[in-house]
Structure 1
Amino acid sequence: MHGSRTRRHASEWLPRAARCPDVTKKIGFLSFGHWTPHPTSETQTASDALLQSIDLAVAAEELGADGAYFRVHHFARQLGSPFPLLAAAGARTSRIEIGTGVIDMRYVNPLAFVEDAGAADLIAGGRLQLGVSRGSPEQVIDGWRYFGYSPAEDEDDGAMARRHTEIALDLLTGKQFAQPNPRPMFPNPPGLLRLEPHSEGLRERIWWGAGSDATARWTAQQGMNLMSSTLKFDETGEPLHVQQRKQIEAFRDEWAQHDHGFEPRVSVSRSIFPIVNDLDRRYFLASGDSEDQFGNIDAQTRAVFGRSYADEPDVLVELLRRDEAIAAADTLLLTVPNQLGVDYNAHVIESVLTHVAPALGWR
C-alpha cells in the first residue's frame, strides 16, 4: 500500500510532458555529412559524403523512417550546399521527408533561397522540411562576409539572419512583387511577377532552429515550426531535456496567440544507439558521454550539450521514457555517425525503429 501511494504522489509532480501518454512520432535521421581522408572513415571525400547521404535517405525510406535531414556547414568538410543534395534525394525517394537542420541564413540570398527551395520541393513532390536558423560558430571569422553579406548599421549577424528569413518567408507565399518588363522575352501573366518555380505549401514547412526560449517564441510569431537540437543555450542550469520541454511549451503558448492557419510541428534531436550486437558494443557502449555537458560555445554564450543514449534496448526504453522533450515533440531526429558508412547507419536507424520505438508507443 505504501509503495502505491509513493508512485501516485510521484506522478503528481512529474511535468505535464512526462505524464502524457505515448504517442506516435515521426522518426528521421540527421547527418552532419562529415568526410575525412583517413583509413578508418567510410566517407573519404566530398563525393562520398554526398552520394552516401542520398543512399542513406533511400535506405531509411525502405526501413520505414519518416525523414532524412542534413546539417549545413560552410568552409568545412561537411554538406555546405544543400539544395542539389535535397533535389537528388527527393528524386531517388517517394515518401520520406527531406530536410535540413539547419541552413545558416546569414549566408543566404533570400530570393535565391526561395527559387532553389521551390525547385527542390517540386522535384521531391512537396516533401521538403527546411530547417533554417542563425547558425552556429563557424570555421572562419564572419564567413558570411565572403558570401557578400554584411549586417546593416543597426544589426548584428543574428538580426541579419532573421531579416533574410523574414524576406524568404514572405516570398515563399507566392507574393507577386516584381514589375514586369513591357517588352519581355516571353509573354508574362497579368500583374506583378513572383519568383518561379513556386511550390504551394512550402511556406508551412519551414522550421527555425531555436537555441533559446526567446527565439522559440519568435519562431512561433513568424509561423515557423520549431527545431531544437542536441545543444541549447543554458538558461536554468537544468538538464537539456527539461530546458527543451520548457522551450517547447513557450513556443506552443506563443503559437496559440496567433492565427497562422496550420498546426505547428516540433522536433528534437538525439543520439540514440541501441546495443544489439558486438559492433555496437565496440563503437558505443563505453562512449563516455552518458551525461549532459555544460560549457561555452563562444565567449558570451553558455550552453548545455545533450548526452548520448547508448545501451541495451530495454534500458534505453526506460531512459527515453523519462526524456521530457521527446515526450513533448512530435518529431525525433536521430543523429547518425555518417563516417561509419551507409550500412551501419541504416542498422542504427533500424535498431531504433524495431527495438525501441514500439515499446515507447512511437510506432
Structure 2
Amino acid sequence: MKKIGFLSFGHWTPSQQSQTRSATDVLLQSIDLAVEAERLGLDGAYFRVHHFARQLASPFPLLAAVGARTKTIEIGTGVIDMRYENPHYMAEESSAADLISGGRLQLGISRGSPEQVIDGWRHFGYTPAAGEDDAAMGRRHAETYLELLGGKGFAQPNPRPMFPNPPGLLRLEPISEGLRDRIWWGAGSNATAVWAAQRGMNLQSSTLKNDETGEPFHIQQAAQIRAFRAAWKEAGHTRVPRVSVSRSIFALVNDLDRAYFGRGSNEEDKIGFLGPGLRAVFGRGYAAEPDLLVKQLSKDEAIAEADTLLLTVPNQLGVAYNAHVLEAILTTVAPALGWR
C-alpha cells in the first residue's frame, strides 16, 4: 500500500496553448485540482516553490486556501527553498496554515536547487555567515525552523505588555502541535538524506539526485532511501519515518493521452550538471498502455522502497485533464501493483 499524491510545479505562461495563462489561473486551478484529487481518493496535493519564475512561489496562502476547501487530503510542498526563508515568520505562517487545514500539512523543505537568477536569496535579504556557503545557510535556516516548531519559549517578555502574557519566556504564536513531525527534507545526495534522518525529518527524493555510483537512477535512489532509514534507526527516533519519491507517470488510455505523451521521448535516464563538477542523474519518465506501465513500474526499486508516490502533473493542460491523468493511474495501475 502506498500513499499517492500529485506534485504541481504551477507553471503559467501567456500562451494560447496553455490553460494557465496568468498567476491567477494557476493559483485558482491549483485549489480546484486539490479538490478534484480529494474527490478521486488521492492522498496528497503537493506544490513546488520557485522564485523569480512564472511558477508557484509563496506557498502558504495557497496551502491555507486548499486547506479551507478540502477535508481529508494531505497538503504539502516539494520543496521550499530555505535559503529564502525567515524561519521565525515561516513558523508562524506554516502553523497558521496547518491549523486551518486541521493538521494536514506535509511540508517539504530543502537547501534549494538551481534557480532563475544569480544568488536570488540575496534579494530577500539573506547572506551566508562567515565560513558558510548558501547551502549551509539553507540548512541553518532549516534547523532554526525545526527548533521553533518545538514550541519552546525563548523571548524575554515586555514588563509592560499591551496584552497579558503567560508566565516565562514567550514562544511564537500560533504553533501547530505535531507539525514538527510532518517536515520533510528534499535530499539530493545520500549524505543529505542521512543528515535529514539524524534531525528527525521525513525524506523527499525527487526525479534527480547526485550521480554517486553511475548506476541507473532508481537503483541509486533506492540506496539513498535505505541509507536514510538506517540513519533514522541509528538516531533512535521513536516514530516511523515517511519517504516519498516523485515520478512522471502517464497511463495511455485514450487518443488524447497518446497524442500528448505517447512519443516515448523520456524513457531513459539523463545525465546533467547542476554546477561545476556536480554530475546529476535525472530519472526517466513513464508513459505507456496500462499493462506495459505496470510491468515497467514493478521494476522501479525506489518506488518499491518508498511509502509515498508523488505524480508530477502537466498543470498547464488544465484541471479536467489532470484529474483524468490521476484517475487513470488510480484505476488502471495502482491496484495492479498493490498500491491500492
Please give the range of the TM-score, normalised by the shorter of the 2 chains: over 0.9
- Counterpart CA distance in 1 for 2:243 and 2:222 is 11
Q: 1:145 aligns with which of 92, 115, 122?
A: 122
My pick for the range that moved more, 31-40 or 300-309, is 300-309
Report the residue type matching 1:279 in the other structure: L
Q: Which residue of 1 aligns with 2:227?
A: 250
- Cα distance in 1 for residues equivalent to 2:278 and 2:8: 25
Give the letter aligned to residue 235 of structure 1: E
Question: Deviation at 1:135?
Answer: 1.2
How far does residue 299 in structure 1 lie from its aligned partner after superposition? 2.1
Give the counterpart letter for 1:233 in structure 2: N
Q: CA deviation at 1:301?
A: 1.2
Aligned to 2:239: 262
Aligned to 1:309: 286
Aligned residue for 1:108?
A: 85
**How big is each residue's C-alpha offset from its partner over 1:219-253, in whole Å with a ceiling of 9 and x where there is no partner?**
10110000000011100111111000000000000
Give the structure 2 partner of residue 157 of structure 1. Answer: 134
Does the alignment pair 1:56 with 2:33? yes
Is the partner of 2:275 in helix, strand or coil? coil
Counterpart for residue 136 of structure 1: 113
Provide the residue aligned with 2:193 in structure 1: 216
Give the structure with higher Rg (CA): 1
The equivalences for 1:19-30 within 5 A come to 24-30=1-7
Q: CA deviation at 1:259?
A: 2.6
Q: How does 1:1-363 map to 2 (within 5 A)?
A: 24-363=1-340
Question: Offset at 1:353?
Answer: 0.4
Unaligned runs of 5+ in 1: 1-23
Q: CA deviation at 1:295?
A: 1.4
What letter is aligned with 1:260? H
SS of alignment partner, residue 307 of structure 1: coil
Q: Measure, in 2, the Cα distance between the counterparts of 1:152 and 1:295.
A: 30
Provide the TM-score with structure 2 as the length reference.
Answer: 0.99
Structure 2 unaligned segments of length 5 or more: list them: none
CA RMSD of aligned residues (A): 0.6
Distance 1:299 1:259 in 2: 37
1:31-61 residue CA offsets vs partner (Å, 9 max, x unmatched): 0000000010000000001000000000000
Q: CA deviation at 1:258?
A: 1.5
Secondary structure of the structure 1 residue equivalent to 2:138: helix
- Structure 2 CA distance for aligned equivalents of residues 268 and 342 of structure 1: 23
Distance 1:30 1:135 in 2: 17
Deviation at 1:300, TM superposition (A): 2.6
Aligned positions, number: 340
Equivalent-residue separation in structure 2 for 1:194 and 1:168 (angstroms): 13
Distance, in Å, in 2 between the alignment partners of 1:202 and 1:287 is 41
Identity fraction in percent: 74
Alpha-carbon distance between aligned partners in 2 of 1:83 and 1:287, rounded to the nearest angstrom? 36
Cα distance between partner residues in 1 of 2:210 and 2:173? 38
Q: What letter is aligned with 2:178?
A: G
Whole-angstrom CA distance in 1 between matches of 2:315 and 2:248: 12
- Name the structure 2 match of 1:8: none
Deviations 1:109-158 (A, max 9, x none): 00011000000000000000000001111100000000000000110000
Q: Give the TM-score, by structure 1 length.
A: 0.93
Q: 1:287 Cα deviation (Å)?
A: 4.2
Aligned to 1:4: none
3-state DSSP class of the match of 1:257?
Answer: helix
AA aligned opposite 2:115 = E
Greater displacement, 300-309 / 220-229 = 300-309
Amino acid corresponding to residue 26 of structure 1 in structure 2: K
Instruction: State the distance in 2 between where 1:261 and 1:109 align.
Output: 29
Tell me the distance in 2 between the aligned counterparts of 1:206 and 1:99. Answer: 9
What is the rounded CA distance, in whole Å, between the counterparts of 1:290 and 1:304 in structure 2?
Answer: 14
In the alignment, the residues of structure 2 paired with residue 190 and residue 261 of structure 1 have an alpha-carbon distance, to the nearest angstrom, of 31
Inter-partner Cα distance in structure 2 for 1:306 and 1:213 = 16
Deviation of 1:261 after TM superposition, in Å, equals 2.9
**Moved >6 Å (runs of 4+):** none
Distance in 2 (CA, whole Å) between partners of 1:284 and 1:76 is 25
1:118 and 1:107 map into 2 onto residues whose CA distance is 18
Superposed CA deviations along residues 50-103 of structure 1, whole A, max 9, x for unmatched, are 000000000000000000000000000001100000000000000000000000
